[in-house]
Structure 1
Amino acid sequence: MRRRTGLRPGLRDDLRQESARIDRSSGQTAGPAGGGADHGRGSLDRGEWSEANAGEGRRDGRQGGRIVLIRMLRADLRRGVAQSAALTVLIALAVALAAMSTTLGIRAGSAVNALWKRAVPPDVAHMHTGTPDANALRAWVDRRSDVADYHLMRTLPVPVQQLTIAGKSQADSVLEPAFVTAPKRFDLLLGQDGKPANPGPGEIALPVHYKAQGAAAVGDTVRVRSGSWVRELKVVDFVRDPQMNPSMVTSKRLVVHPSDFAEFDKRLKPEYIVEFRLADGVEASAFVKAFESSGLSSQGITVDTSIFKLMNGLTTVPVAAVALLVAILLAVVAALVLRYAFLAAMEEDLAQISVLKAIGAPPRGVKRLYLAKYSALTAGGALVGYLLSIPMAAQLSDAVLLYLGKSSAGAWPILCSIAAAVALAASMVGFCWILLRRIDRLSAVQALRTGVSGRVRRRRHRLSLASSRRLPVDVWLGLREAFRPANALLLAVLTVCTIVLILPANVVTTMGDPGFASYMGIGRADLRIDVPAGSADLDTAYSKVAAEAGVGRAVQMTDHRYDMRKPGGAWGSALVESGDQSAFSGRYLRGRAPATAKEIALSSNQADEAKVGLGDVVDVRLPASPGGPGRPAAAERTVSLRVVGLYQDITNGGKTAKTTEAAVAGDASTPLRRVVYADVAGGADAKATAQSLRQRLPGASVAQVSEYISQTLGATLSQMRSVAVFSAAVAIALAFLVAALFAVLVVARESSQIGIQRGIGMSTRRLRVQYLVRFCAVLLAGVVLGTTVVETLGEAAVGGVLGYMGAPDIAFMTNPWLVRLVLPGALALAVVAAVLLAMRRVRMTTVLDRE
């Protein structure tokens, strides 16, 4: 149905008066024969119309045009309150998220740099198992000009069964706490005041992780019990540790006074951290290779400062990245809605714009009118959004800065957030200016004749009522309108809402799923038992686990640091896990788990570094063994292993390997880690079985794999859960706002059709059903399309982020009820509520109301 070209009554009278006044002004300048229009034009052709009087006529025309423009602006604001409010809210949300993510990112980055400057962490750290050769280490360092300083830190790991914090036993904790004294030269452990922690006798400074988890507060008591011996310490501070701050790092350093450390040293077995500060200009990666080739790193894991920064950044990057992604999506939606609202407003004012162009009003005046309106709406939304970003950024920054300390960015977060808000607002205004070029191309004659701004296209309805006799008329009308190209914008918005709603939820459910253990180098078992003692104790622990009534099957694994030669001939270092790899095999990108003494599987990052793939052969060098009771001595030897599988692992920098116990048979070196994995028997309770094993294995750490993941990824998972909830709220609110805006505009545009349908007897309920079917059909298509995008491109995007950590091909582990029912249902409720709200205005509309 074509739009009518009639003017609104008030504007019609104004235009008549202004046209008459312009005609009178033109008539006064005509020739002697009178003031007719034809005569006036003839006089103009003869040059008898004075330039002064012609200028006066143009001024009168411009003055009349300004009056009409002002009236158009007032009328547009009165009729478009809902559209203006929705557009302002969208811009405010986009600006709020953009400014918040900018502020959070700058504060976090600045806090990390400030922490690095104050704490002076080591450039390279080597976690050594056993007792290192201090003399050999000192001699090697003395020969190195690239080492500015080094420190051999003695730590005392305490079994969690012996540790009680604030009255709560830590027996079920997966953390690995160790007592240390405060370093003096570098690798400083900073207290809450930013100064190095220095507890006195009988005092202790706990890692800030315990404060963040609510496990301890200043003044609480830490109790260490070993048999009948008990030592109590008072919590006086919480320390920020650049190496071990993140929850993903299970090792934690507890700072005590040297006198208390000496007492613990009598009862606990020490471990060591070798720390290096490098000379200026020395590459950490080159030094790590030199250290590994020296033979001093064979019993431990070596990492550099880039890993420390990466792990600290993981507590902030997901929040800022998701917030920025949502802000970009909101900005895109706001631009689309701005285009739709502008075109709808221009169609409403088409007759007035055409008359203004016909009487000679300059197009730039009309463009300034619209530009002023949308600039004001954008400025208001940007201001509100920036003000909202301040408390939002402060709340999220508090959680992040608790781990990192105060930011030293100064005014940069404020300036950059303002710049982000201004840039986003300017992009909206610029987009509006691009749209305004349509007015220059508008043909006044064509618009006045047809009532539309362009060529009239005949609408083709492929869905005919005659071919759909089984459908009620209202349902048929709704489905027919849902397939119109004009709904493409609404479809795009609802698709974006679905992505924003489902993607963060999928990330949270994936990280919280026990199957995520396969991305952490953990067997897909029910229980994980870490045995800190020697290999003989590992055999004893394995025997006890296998004999437990609630255990169905169990395997033991050991980790060693071996030299691995690449196909090109260069040697490198690799962390190799040996044992029965078929028992609790995780997901493999390609290939399978090793099964024979000639096979090995590599993590994705390890394979990339070694430049090998399936079928390639790598050489692994096993260290010499001095022998011992019942164990013959063995010389250093090299075994050649074929790569049969590639898997994903985000631990240890993503660089690990797996092989069978037979492949490394004869190696008697001390393992870096000893683990027993177990599945509970059918019908047995995993929690009760874990508790029973803790009593039978007092020196081991027993945890359910699900609990291990929860505690290891606790901080990151908690922040991602907050982001998911916030994203869901934004998506639902966005769907409601945009659906309400579209419904109001559609109802206003189709008021003539609604009046005709009411006039021929269609009830209000049937009209509601028609529009509900129309919008819900578009919603269903948007949900299907958005879910498909999340399951394809979403997984690829998350894999791209986690690929740097060693998991490039992550597969979502979703909750079907949440993704298929709860979240789409919430989106549907928002859209239905918006449509019903818009339909209230057609309750009393009849065909007579449009005449």
Structure 2
Amino acid sequence: MYLKIIKNDFKRKKVITSTVFVFITLAVLLGSSATNIIANLIQSMSAFNLAAEPADITQMHVGDYDQIAIDQFTEAHQEQIAMQETMELLTIDGVNIHFRDNNSFAGTVQDISFVVQNTEFDFILDLNNEKLNVKEGEIAVPIYFMEEYELTIGELITVVQGAYKKQFVIADYARDFEMNSSLSSSKRFVINPKDYGDMLQGKVGEREYLIQFKLRENADSKKLQTEYIDSGLPANGPIVTGDMFLIFNALSDATIAIIIILISILLIIIASLSIRLTFLATIDEDLREIGVMKAIGLSNKDIKKVYLNKYRVMSVVAGIIGYLLSFVVINLFTSNMRLYLSSDLSGSLKYLLSLVAPLFVYLMIVLYCKKILKQIDKISAIEALRSNIMVRGKNRKYRFPLLQNKFFNTNIYMGIRDVWNRFKLYRLLILIFAVCTFIIILPLNLYNTMNSPEFTTYMGIGKSDVRIDLRRTDTISEDFKKLQEELQNDPGVEKFSAYITSSFPVKNKEGTWDYLNIETGDFSVFPLNYLNGRAPEKAGEISLSYANASSDGLNKKVGDEVIVEVVGEEKSLKVTGIYQDITNGGKTAKAHSSLGLNEDAVLWYIVYLDLREGVDKVKKMDHYQNMFVGAQVNDIQDYKKQTLGNMMNQLNSIVLGGIVIAGMIIVLITALFMKMLLSKDQSQIAIMRSIGLTSKQIQQQYVAGTLMVLIVGIILGVLASEFLGEFLFSLAMTSMGAARIEFIQIIWQTWILCPLILIVIVGVTITLCCKATFKKDLSIVLRG
């Protein structure tokens, strides 16, 4: 009997049922897709890690080193170190590497290193996650460069430096666990040992080293790092742990999964609200049937079961369809994962984990239906046979009499008046419009924020035009001074500031010594936005990144003291500010230049500059690139895009997807709501038509009222995306070193373009719904 009732109900209310069905399917589809991404990410990261066997500690070093001393250190710590291997790299300037029509890699922000395959661990893989085995005359190109420069198998890459010139054929792409991500500042090109030996003989590039350790289970990585540095072993460069490589590889896909989960939750909310709208329309239409069922003795439980079974069936069918479709749609979101982590995503974990979404949606829908179906208990059989559920109770006092209208067109006034008098009915629509606006504006704000020049302040650097990085060479100190003199005398340069980053011993919260990368210089030229406090302005002052100041770092706040060892002497520095930085694991610090340098552990020489108005930026960058061949000269915006480009591309897809989904929802919801409203108001519409109002005039009333509701919903949605969205995104980025991100809004997009698009969509939908309703024969309506 129940199945027959449900089947007849589906036939009778095809539009309403189909609308709710689509929402539930979309919620399951996106929810399953998000959990699918997470399952694939877990599985692919595990497989990638197993095949690559990355190092647990990697010390980058430039300059001479003593392998015997490193071996002795390894021998002395056998209980913690399983394996040690030192990889030699030849770092070559991008300007010396040519491809396709004499183009070069001069514009890249990445350090380019040529290497041979490791023998013990930290293997560089091909796209099948097999260890690369490159033949003589061939080269394996990092995936990052393959994408950035559209390099294809079989193309030639030519290395030219001095008398050395060699052509390599691209034979494969390199999947590199340690340097895959665009957030990593270096990339490794793999060549044959014979070709590498020829490069050494030709004195090509600068030698650098990765001193790598594979630790035993339960080894204390942090303690071992400190002991390594204290032993005076080679440490002229940053030190990176395996956890950081893991975060860099997973960050982009994990961020997308979180955003999709959020949209899926919002869709569940919309589906629930749609069911409420449907229920209100259904109860209003079926009021007499409910009265008859009660009159013949059916219990409230049996009557509610009729409606509940309908949504149970709908949730199960929509859940199955959404679950199956997610395995088709997922390909839109996992292309980045397939390229950078694993080409094979055929594991079974995703099938099990993806079931969470349909089960969760089913549970939420059923619980919500049970809650709203309690209204049936309040309806008596006599009341149901006599009256309308929406008007039972006390007589309402209608406000805003028509005679008091002095400002609006009569039809517009009547539409607005109707919203006020039936606000309980319209408030559901306001909430749904607000949620749809949130789905559009949040990804858009996120994309615009990351795309704005101000986002560089979250990367620990002030807003500027150009960034110049000097590579570690024997003449770097002289080059650094010469560069500053040149900039000082350059009339095209408005202002500049030079910074040097060194690694210093610092006393941690346990009272033992760690190492901290401290940047020194004048931080008033290109100021940062500080969470608390200010930049260091005089001797004895230091500012810490959020990650360093947190309880997981040094556990300091503004006004506290930090003990730093400088040239064997302990110095106490006062914390003046805490800033945000998502680079280098988020753990950096800035101090007044009077602190000096740790000459044995200088990491970076960087200069930021602003150009005067009218100066050709490209020509100026070329000028300094040619003057300082070993330098990297980059437009700061280009630097940011190359660093965050992968995530930006995926966010762009999310923005477009959010607009499409929200547009579909608004069309369906508006049609559903108008069908309910027009069905309820049939008698009222018939009376207005009988006294001379045209269909167009009546239509104007509904358009005016619904558009007013839409505008309120848009305002609430935009405000929610700004404040709640900022909070959620900042919460997600806290682990990366940014605890308070402020969204950048492009006003014409947020407050003009998006609202106009939504107004047009809603206006057209209402018009079509009204035309279909007003075609009915007036006499039939009045007789009914």
Shorter-chain-normalised TM-score: which range?
over 0.9
Selected match of 1:142 from 72, 75, 89: 75
Look up the match of 2:110: 175
> Secondary structure of the equivalent of 2:408?
coil
Q: What is the CA deviation profile of residues 111-167 of structure 1, one whole-angstrom value per residue up to 9, with x for unaligned ones? A: 000011111111111112323332322222211121111111111111011112344
Matches within 5 A, 1:393-792: 393-407=330-344, 410-452=347-389, 455-483=392-420, 484-532=423-471, 533=473, 534-566=476-508, 569-608=511-550, 609-623=553-567, 636-664=568-596, 667-669=598-600, 671-792=602-723
Distance 2:367 2:740 in 1: 39
Letter in 2 for 1:189: I
8 Å contact from structure 2 (residues 284, 389) kept in 1: yes
Letter in 2 for 1:529: I
1:313 and 2:250 matched: yes
Q: What is the CA deviation profile of residues 537-584 of structure 1, one whole-angstrom value per residue up to 9, with x for unaligned ones? A: 211223334444532222211110011224764332211011111111
Matches within 5 A, 1:159-308: 159-167=93-101, 168-213=103-148, 215-265=150-200, 266-296=203-233, 298-308=235-245
Q: Radius of gyration: which is bigger?
A: 1
Distance 2:370 2:230 in 1: 64
> Secondary structure of the equivalent of 2:404?
coil
Once the two structures are TM-superposed, the CA of residue 70 in structure 1 deviates from its matched residue by 8.9
8 Å contact from structure 1 (residues 110, 407) kept in 2: no
Distance 2:688 2:226 in 1: 80
Q: What is the CA deviation profile of residues 348-367 of structure 1, one whole-angstrom value per residue up to 9, with x for unaligned ones? A: 11111111221224555533
Selected match of 1:106 from 32, 39, 54: 39
Once the two structures are TM-superposed, the CA of residue 847 in structure 1 deviates from its matched residue by 5.3
TM-score, L = length of structure 1: 0.87
Letter in 1 for 2:280: L
Once the two structures are TM-superposed, the CA of residue 228 in structure 1 deviates from its matched residue by 4.3
Distance 1:72 1:463 in 2: 43
> Secondary structure of the equivalent of 1:314?
helix
Distance 2:252 2:488 in 1: 38
> Secondary structure of the equivalent of 2:744?
coil
8 Å contact from structure 1 (residues 526, 678) kept in 2: yes
Look up the match of 2:270: 333
Letter in 1 for 2:191: V
Once the two structures are TM-superposed, the CA of residue 88 in structure 1 deviates from its matched residue by 1.2
> Secondary structure of the equivalent of 1:463?
coil
Which sections of structure 1, spanning at least 5 residues, go unmatched?
Answer: 1-65, 624-635
Letter in 1 for 2:394: R
Which sections of structure 2, spanning at least 5 residues, go unmatched?
Answer: none
Once the two structures are TM-superposed, the CA of residue 669 in structure 1 deviates from its matched residue by 3.7
Calculate percent identity across the aligned residue pairs. Answer: 30
- Between the two proteins, the alignment pairs up a number of residues equal to 771
Distance 1:588 1:456 in 2: 58
Matches within 5 A, 1:63-78: 76-78=9-11
8 Å contact from structure 1 (residues 755, 846) kept in 2: no
Once the two structures are TM-superposed, the CA of residue 687 in structure 1 deviates from its matched residue by 2.5
8 Å contact from structure 1 (residues 99, 418) kept in 2: yes
Change (3 A) 1:184 1:620: same
Q: What is the CA deviation profile of residues 476-511 of structure 1, one whole-angstrom value per residue up to 9, with x for unaligned ones? A: 111122231211111111111111101111111111
Once the two structures are TM-superposed, the CA of residue 786 in structure 1 deviates from its matched residue by 1.3
8 Å contact from structure 1 (residues 350, 453) kept in 2: no
Once the two structures are TM-superposed, the CA of residue 837 in structure 1 deviates from its matched residue by 1.9
Letter in 2 for 1:829: V
Distance 1:131 1:467 in 2: 89
Letter in 2 for 1:270: R
Change (3 A) 1:451 1:785: closer
Change (3 A) 1:850 1:387: farther
TM-score, L = length of structure 2: 0.94
Change (3 A) 1:568 1:114: closer
8 Å contact from structure 1 (residues 93, 385) kept in 2: yes
Distance 1:564 1:169 in 2: 41
8 Å contact from structure 2 (residues 80, 220) kept in 1: no
Distance 1:567 1:74 in 2: 68
Distance 2:288 2:336 in 1: 56
Give RMSD over aligned pairs: 2.2
Change (3 A) 1:70 1:749: farther
Letter in 1 for 2:718: T
Matches within 5 A, 1:81-96: 81-96=14-29
8 Å contact from structure 1 (residues 285, 304) kept in 2: no
Change (3 A) 1:354 1:791: same
8 Å contact from structure 1 (residues 758, 845) kept in 2: no
8 Å contact from structure 2 (residues 666, 762) kept in 1: yes
> Secondary structure of the equivalent of 1:528?
strand
Higher alpha-carbon deviation: 415-424 or 594-603: 415-424
